[in-house]
Structures are given as structure tokens and as C-alpha cells.
């Protein structure tokens, strides 16, 4: 079991190009880009509320290429919660989540207390759909995890995804809302403070 720390670590996994970075950037910065820039690994931080105090939500956006198995294992062992993303336009991308889920099972053991959200992204792409919502739901039932379809492009269910994931955490009371009364300047200061800086 990972140690209780002041960080709440969420790790985003999924095949290349399914929209992991797009979901994270939409949530953290409110932006979306059409161009595709593959990720190696990026981490974003935000202040959230935790057990009537505050803590840091740390989101790790992983690579879709399977070149770094050691990094993947480390991310799983340090992670408190997981987002498993496939694209509704690619059956293959749902298949590719299976070994990742199995590795989470192997490293974490009992998954009962670990928040996991299966996410079918790109639900705005109606014409190129290969995975029906019922297929995603069936997989989530099998894995006993939560499920949601999202679109980073249209901002459908993006904030809800992160809020739902935090709601699944039963060992701590974590929430995106701090006190709901912060002004814009305070929010911006917190955002800047929490930003990951490349030295």
C-alpha cells in the first residue's frame, strides 16, 4: 500500500494517441490542441481539498508507447488512483489496456480500495466509432471499476471524470472544491504555485 502523503497521485494510462494528454490539459489548463505531440511523461499539480485540509493532486500523464516498462511499474506503485483511457474510435486501444490493468492488479494486489476509472475518450467522433458504450460498460463491470465516456475536444465529462475518481477514494475525503469562495487571483496564485517547473 502506498504511504499516506500530502500528495494524491493520479496516473493516466492508455495507448498512444487516445487523448490522455488532451484530457489532462483540458482539465488542468482548459485548452485543446488538434495536433498530436506524443508524450514521454509529464506531471501536473493542483491544490485540492483533503480531509478538511488541502493537499496536492498530482496527475501523471504517461506515454502511450510501451518503451518504458520500469517507469510504468514505478508509476503504478506510487499511484493512489488510475485513469485507463481508450479511444472509442479504436477497438485495439481498449485491448491495449488489458496488460496495464493486469499489471495494476499484480502490483497493487487488492483493488477494492483503489479508485480506477475506465474512460472511452473521443466520444464526439460519431462516424469513426469502433467501441460502443455498452462494450466499455461491460469491460468496467468485469474489472469492477467505474466507467465514463469523455471528449477532451468538446469538454464533455472531463471535470466530472476527475471529480468521480476522487469520489471513489474511501480512505480520504478528497475533493476538487477547496472552499468554493476563492477569488480569481487566489486561484491563479495556487495554480502557479502548483505548476511543475522544468529546471
Ligand X SMILES: Nc1nc2c(ncn2[C@@H]2O[C@H](COP(=O)(O)OP(=O)(O)OP(=O)(O)O)[C@@H](O)[C@H]2O)c(=O)[nH]1
| Interface residue list for Mg ion (CB under 5 A) | 20-21, 39
Q: Contact, 116 vs 84, CB < 8 A? A: yes
Q: Taking contact as CB under 6 A, which single stretch among the options 1-9, 15-23, 106-114, 135-143 is the one that binds ligand X? A: 15-23
% helix, strand, coil for the chain, step of 5:
35, 25, 40
CB of 134 to ligand X, least distance (A): 20
Distance CA 16, CA 96 (A): 10
Candidates 14, 115, 120, 136; binder of ligand X (CB under 6 A) is: 14
Q: What is the smallest separation between the CB atom of 38 and ligand X, expressed in angstroms?
A: 3
Candidate list 16, 56, 68, 130; residue touching ligand X; CB under 6 A = 16
Question: Could you give the 3-state DSSP secondary structure of residue 193?
Answer: helix
Residue 18 has which C-alpha cell? 487516445
Residue 174 burial (CB < 10 Å; 0-12/13-18/19+)?
A: buried
Q: Which one of 32-40, 68-76, 168-176, 191-199 is the stretch in contact with ligand X (CB under 6 A)?
A: 32-40
Nearer to ligand X, 19 or 136 (CB): 19
Nearest residue (beta carbon) to ligand X? 64
CA distances from 55 to 1, 172, 178 (A): 19, 11, 10
Where helices occur in the chain by DSSP H, the ranges are: 20-29, 69-78, 91-95, 97-108, 133-143, 158-167, 184-194
Residue 16's binding partner out of Mg ion, ligand X, none, with CB under 5 to 8 Å set by partner kind: ligand X
Residue 18 as a binder of ligand X (CB under 6 A): the answer is yes
Q: Which does 185 bind (CB under 5 to 8 A by kind): ligand X, Mg ion, none?
A: none
User: Minimal distance in Å, beta carbon 73 to ligand X?
Assistant: 17
Binding region for ligand X (CB under 6 A): 14, 16-22, 33-36, 38-39, 63-64, 121-122, 124-125, 151-153
Amino acid at each position: 500500500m502506498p504511504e499516506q502523503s500530502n500528495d494524491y497521485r493520479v496516473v493516466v494510462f492508455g495507448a498512444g494517441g487516445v487523448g490522455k494528454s488532451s484530457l489532462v490539459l483540458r482539465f488542468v489548463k482548459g485548452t485543446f490542441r488538434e495536433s498530436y505531440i506524443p508524450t514521454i511523461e509529464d506531471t501536473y499539480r493542483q491544490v485540492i481539498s483533503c480531509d478538511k485540509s488541502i493537499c496536492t493532486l498530482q496527475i501523471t500523464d504517461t506515454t502511450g508507447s510501451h518503451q518504458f516498462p520500469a517507469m510504468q511499474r514505478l508509476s503504478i506503485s506510487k499511484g493512489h488512483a488510475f485513469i485507463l483511457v481508450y479511444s472509442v474510435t479504436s477497438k485495439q486501444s481498449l485491448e491495449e489496456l488489458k496488460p496495464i490493468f493486469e499489471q495494476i492488479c499484480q502490483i497493487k494486489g487488492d483493488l477494492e480500495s483503489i479508485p480506477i476509472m475506465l474512460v472511452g475518450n473521443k466520444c464526439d467522433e460519431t462516424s469513426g466509432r469502433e467501441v460502443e458504450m455498452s462494450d466499455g460498460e461491460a469491460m468496467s463491470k468485469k474489472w469492477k471499476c467505474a466507467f465514463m465516456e469523455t471528449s477532451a475536444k468538446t469538454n464533455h465529462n472531463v471535470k466530472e471524470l476527475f471529480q468521480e475518481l476522487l469520489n471513489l477514494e474511501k480512505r480520504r475525503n478528497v475533493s476538487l472544491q477547496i472552499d468554493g469562495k476563492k477569488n480569481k487571483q487566489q486561484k491563479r496564485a495556487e495554480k502557479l504555485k502548483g505548476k511543475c517547473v522544468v529546471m
